[in-house]
Chains A and B, each alone.
Chain A
Amino acid sequence: MLTLTGVHVGYGRTSVVHGVDVEVGAGSVTAVMGHNGAGKTTLLRAAVGLLPVRSGKVTLDGADVTRMRPHQRVRRGLAYVPQGQQSFGQLTARENLQLVVDGAGPAGAGRMDEALDLFPALRGLLGRRAGLLSGGQRQQLAIARALITGPRVMVLDEPTEGIQPSVVAEIEDAIVTLAASKGLSVLLVEQHVGFALGAAERYYVLESGRVTSQGDGGAASEEDVRAAMAL
């Protein structure tokens, strides 16, 4: 579904990601783990088009999307939930979702209902300004917004970071459910190794911009992965 081949990314003269290969299979969850500064977010931003790929290739369903702008990739089925529970703070929660419904064509309204079924707590908050929601609510809003675009691949950057534990469980459940029931492919950056390995069929450990370890999520032990991350 989503393939990154020999991807190099950087900022200015600094190179951050050096020739990384990542493959996200259809209907499966793939996790990228690593310490702060390992290049995880940079890799994801390049995958969705927010950072230019210096060399290498990004393909979505076999089509080369390396030079496409982010909104064009969204229309081809690549959704992104960035780090930090980002939302349009001055817009209401409803406007945050409606914004995506506007661009999603006739199917958009139905998808909004489905997304709200997944996070029912949001229904009562639709009239509130998104900037006034809690971190967990904003993250649910961000995932709902991504789902309304009708993705086949969803890229999530630390979706449970800085969120209260009760909401973390809801978000984790939602991700696993989506992959299992809707055939959605998920590329996930996650510090929470236990969850990542539990959910992911395949994992990659990134260190200083290079893949230092990879394997099948189910087969790997948490200790082995933590040891690989500590290298």
Chain B
Amino acid sequence: MDAVISQTFAGLSLGSVLLLAALGLALTFGQMGVINMAHGEFMMAGAYTAFAVQKVVSDAGLSLLVSLLIGFLVGGLLGLLLEVTLISRMYTRPLDTLLVTFGVALVLQQLARDIFGAPNVDVRAPAWLSGAVPILGVDVPKTRVFILGLSIACVVALSLVLKLTPLGRRIRATVQNRDLAETSGISTRATDRLTFFIGSGVAGIAGVALTLLGSIGPTLGTNYIVDAFLVVVVGGIGQLKGAVIAAFALGLLQATIEYSSTASIAKVLVFVVIVAFLQVRPQGIVSVRTRSLA
């Protein structure tokens, strides 16, 4: 029984990391359709932000909280810069966007190497996150619980923004019908920029969270970018709810398979399951039903 609980929590924990990595992408790729290969590097930028902030704010607890805010801004501003300078010119050319943002990802990795050096660096976790808490008789690291809580908080915040605020309405309207949004008085360009800022900012937050799990390096983002895209595609493009379900489903699946084999075998089997699933349901877990999508 302990093993089941322990693996379930491992799965939820993995799922929450996947969710944090994929949440911003659910906005920029899922909602806007932009294939941004540099999304992982925005996470890396968030992680190095945490490292840099800790140089200034020595208290690990305070620096974590400050880093979450500054990480969001750094990720967001990098995303905004990318959108304004490159992506905005390529909205009708997805393949070019993919290649260009892949190039940007490499540039950002090298930039991180130049600034922070090639070896990995560590960010100290605050004392209140060291150790473990017993949950249903199983010791779970506090950092994992924190990341689970953070991912849920991000989902709730993003859902509330999308659902209840004027900005959220503008984003959803622009995503659904750009021309109709423009002729309803919405500046779709300004909305694109804000959406990209928020989506990339969430990647920054994800990066800060990843510093709690281990040392960070310039290629941190590449470890997550493929998984993040998978979560969005499996969840159903354009649906935040789908990304949440997909992230936890994939996390639990991976943890379950890992229990009786190895991480590599689990990864392969998860890919096989995803390919099989998309054959049966190419639209993903959650799809939208309306009489008229327009």
Asked whether A and B interact, the reply is yes
Chain B's nearest CB lies how many Å from the CB of A178?
Answer: 18
A99 touches B179 (CB 8 A): no
Interface residue? B119 (CB, 8 A): no
- State whether A90 touches B176 (Cβ < 8 A): yes
Interface residues of A in 95-116 (CB under 8 A from B): 95, 98-100, 102-104
Given contacts A87-B292, A89-B290, A90-B288, contact A99 B186 (CB under 8 A): yes
In the assembly, what is the distance between CA of A69 and CA of B182, in Å? 8
Residues of chain B in range 152-207 having any CB-CB distance to chain A below 8 Å:
166, 169-170, 172-173, 176-177, 179-189
Number of interface residues of B (CB under 8 A): 24
| Identity of the chain A residue whose Cβ is nearest the Cβ of B174 in the assembled complex | A88
Assess the B179–A50 pair: CB atoms within 8 A.
yes
- Given A75-B185, A100-B184, residue A133 in contact with residue B172 (CB < 8 A): no
Chain A, interface residues (CB within 8 Å), range: 20 to 34
Beta-carbon contacts of B74-86 to A below 8 Å, as 1s and 0s? 0000000000000
Given contacts A82-B180, A91-B172, A99-B170, contact A74 B185 (CB under 8 A): yes
Given A98-B169, A102-B170, decide whether A88 and B176 contact each other with a Cβ distance below 8 A: yes
What is the CB-to-nearest-CB distance from B290 to chain A, in angstroms, rounded to a whole number? Answer: 2
The answer on a CB contact under 8 Å between A131 and B293 is: yes
Out of A80, A84, A104, name the residue touching B183 (CB < 8 Å).
A80
- Please determine whether B183 and A82 come into contact, CB atoms closer than 8 angstroms: yes
Map CB proximity to B onto A54-70 as digits: 1 under 8 Å, 0 otherwise. 00000000000000011
Task: Identify the B interface with A (CB < 8 A).
Answer: 166, 169-170, 172-173, 176-177, 179-189, 288, 290-294
Point out residues on A near B: beta carbons under 8 Å.
48-50, 69-71, 74-75, 79-80, 82, 84-91, 95, 98-100, 102-104, 129-133, 138, 145, 149
